Structure 1
Amino acid sequence: MDLSGLLDGEIWILIGVLALAGCGSGFLAGMLGVGGGIVVVPALFQVLGAFDVPLDLRMHIAVGTSLGSIVPTSIISLRAHNRRGAVDWPLFRQWGPWVAVGVILGSIIASDVRGATLTLIFGIMSMIVALYLALGRPDFHLTDKLPGTPIRQAICLFIGGVSAMMGIGGGSLSVPAMTLCSYPIRRAVGTASALGLIIAVPGTITFMVTGFGEGGLPPVSVGYVNLVAVLALVPSSLIFAPIGAKVAHTMPQIILRRCFAGFLFVTSLRMFYSLF
């Protein structure tokens, strides 16, 4: 992307596309506790390609910028779920610190791997979660309670690390992890919205630092976080996050699972297509 693209009107196409992505991001953040990155990363990846950003940088910028846009969205989503009593704060205090450690480790690793590797990770994890939600029985559980130490720490490190590498809020991983342990899905979604903030803040900072001074970045970028894209994404996502949270508490749980699965499946296929 060069500055001429900002002067000939193409910037308005960029803002319009990202504003639409922000609508979907905010809605899913509120409805599913996923932070919305599952929408934002593929959208940014395609937009950056249209602006001729080098392929090796697209996924890093998409992930870093997605994490930046998740910060305000997670706050709004968290407030909406908290008002409905759906956030398990004791569980959050147990999981949060370990998730944060995983985020920092995952962000550092992501900065050192090729963009194609990040794209592949995004596609594979999206497909696994989609298949679980689509084909798994809602009443199927691995255990009747959430695990204790040290399994809990391992799960949290995995959720934080992979979420940071995918640029997502963590709900795509934490919600299935909780529900497999007989945890109610609506409470899992609410708690995932709190974990999304723990993922987004350190993840954004780490991607800013690790990408600082990188050549070929789009204008108005701080490291791998593009501020123009963040500003385009945030307003519409903030509007739609409370709407998604309201839907989450009125929609039947089976429909909630199927909607989530369908979206993840399509997203995964799109990312595989971009690779091969």
Structure 2
Amino acid sequence: MSIADIAMLMLCGSISGFLAGLLGIGGGMILVPFMIVVFNHLGFSQNIIVHMAIATGMATILFTTTSAIWAHHKHNSIDWKLVAALSPGLVIGSLVGGSEIFEAINTSWLSLFFAIFIVYTSIQMIINKKPTAGRELPGAFGLFSFGALTGVIASLVGAGGAFITVPFMLWCNVKPHTAMASSSGLGFPIAAAATIGYMYGSWGNPNLPEGSLGFVYVPAVLCIVAVSIFTAPLGAKMARKLNVAQLKRIFGVMLFMLAAFMFNESRKAFGF
């Protein structure tokens, strides 16, 4: 990688780490468009470039969430019983999605699905509408089923799942700050299982570049993590001081721009 590639990845890593701590998101999703630019510059195969960007972004969540989890845990903000109840479903869903479904999806369709999910996420951020607390948390089977579905979706878009888990927790009468912090704890099992799935499902793919473990490009992970583990605690600290609702709207507008980029990538992949 060139100095410019490394600098872009480290800059994106610092931003994604900060957002992971501030908003309770994994941060991997916003890395994908920028990694596509870097991977194009490095000459990676177009057949796997989106897969590698998503998988590599998810792998970084392992480290950013660890840092954010510790910061939230020190303030007793995470509901560990809820994290433990949701994790089995999340792990199984992420493993299945990452190993069985992810590689089978064509690059063009994966780009389109990713872009649509970003639009959905950006609307959530801009509106910042909190679901009305209308019920209690479901039983073990309900939590497992919800976790499994969330794991599959998260593994396909390289997200930590907060955009699904936080609204669900709020709807089930979990306090907003607890829901946001707990989403960091839920991001780790999603990222761990999905990353294993990505590597297992793509092992031996002849298009993989040197330095990759399956779809995960290790040099990019190292560049991003080198800075994100330091900025995630800063984001968690600022979450208790800043107007997070306003920041979400700004972030939502930025996501719209990233979605436009991914729609264009999908268009090129379809040959339009």
Q: After TM superposition, list the pairs within 5 Å mapping 1:232-247 onto structure 2.
A: 232-247=223-238
Task: Give the Å deviation of 1:46.
Answer: 1.9
Residue 131, structure 1, aligned to residue 119, structure 2:
no
Task: Supply the AA of the counterpart residue of 1:100.
Answer: V
- The equivalent position to 1:117 in structure 2, one of 106, 109, 123, is 109
TM-align CA RMSD: 1.9
Give the gaps of 5 or more residues in structure 2.
268-272
Q: After TM superposition, list the pairs within 5 Å mapping 1:1-276 onto structure 2.
A: 10-108=1-99, 109-135=101-127, 137-138=129-130, 140-141=131-132, 143-148=134-139, 150-276=141-267
Runs of 4+ deviating beyond 6 Å: none
* Cα separation, 1, equivalents of 2:126 and 2:219: 36
* Cα separation, 2, equivalents of 1:146 and 1:118: 32
- Does the CA contact (< 8 Å) of 1:32 and 1:260 recur in 2? no
Give the secondary structure class of the aligned counterpart of 2:20: helix
Residues 45/264 of structure 1: CA separation in 2 closer, same or farther (3 Å cut) = same
* Cα separation, 2, equivalents of 1:147 and 1:269: 37
- Does the CA contact (< 8 Å) of 2:97 and 2:197 recur in 1? no
Task: Supply the AA of the counterpart residue of 1:92.
Answer: V
Give the secondary structure class of the aligned counterpart of 2:102: helix
Give the secondary structure class of the aligned counterpart of 1:199: helix
- Does the CA contact (< 8 Å) of 1:186 and 1:249 recur in 2? no
Task: Supply the AA of the counterpart residue of 1:51.
Answer: L
How far does the alpha carbon of each residue in 1:161-193 deviate from its partner, in whole angstroms, 9 at most, with x for none? 111111122222222222333433321121111
Give the secondary structure class of the aligned counterpart of 1:55: coil
Task: Supply the AA of the counterpart residue of 2:259.
Answer: S
- Of the structure 1 ranges 209-218 and 16-25, higher mean CA displacement relative to structure 2 is found in 209-218
- Does the CA contact (< 8 Å) of 2:95 and 2:196 recur in 1? no
How far does the alpha carbon of each residue in 1:86-118 deviate from its partner, in whole angstroms, 9 at most, with x for none? 111111111111111110111021021112222
- Of the structure 1 ranges 44-53 and 158-167, higher mean CA displacement relative to structure 2 is found in 44-53
- Does the CA contact (< 8 Å) of 1:24 and 1:39 recur in 2? no
Give the gaps of 5 or more residues in structure 1.
1-9
* Cα separation, 2, equivalents of 1:217 and 1:268: 26
* Cα separation, 1, equivalents of 2:181 and 2:120: 22
Task: Give the Å deviation of 1:154.
Answer: 2.8
How far does the alpha carbon of each residue in 1:30-62 deviate from its partner, in whole angstroms, 9 at most, with x for none? 112211112222211221122221222011111
How far does the alpha carbon of each residue in 1:3-48 deviate from its partner, in whole angstroms, 9 at most, with x for none? xxxxxxx522221111011011101111122111122222112211
Task: Supply the AA of the counterpart residue of 1:121.
Answer: F
* Cα separation, 1, equivalents of 2:245 and 2:60: 29
* Cα separation, 1, equivalents of 2:116 and 2:50: 15
* Cα separation, 1, equivalents of 2:177 and 2:90: 20
* Cα separation, 1, equivalents of 2:252 and 2:133: 20
Task: Give the Å deviation of 1:65.
Answer: 1.2
Residues 62/196 of structure 1: CA separation in 2 closer, same or farther (3 Å cut) = same
Task: Supply the AA of the counterpart residue of 1:134.
Answer: I
| TM-score, reference length from structure 1 | 0.89
Task: Supply the AA of the counterpart residue of 1:123.
Answer: A
- Of the structure 1 ranges 256-265 and 160-169, higher mean CA displacement relative to structure 2 is found in 256-265
* Cα separation, 2, equivalents of 1:105 and 1:183: 28
Count of equivalent residues: 266
Q: Identity of counterpart residues, as a percentage?
A: 30
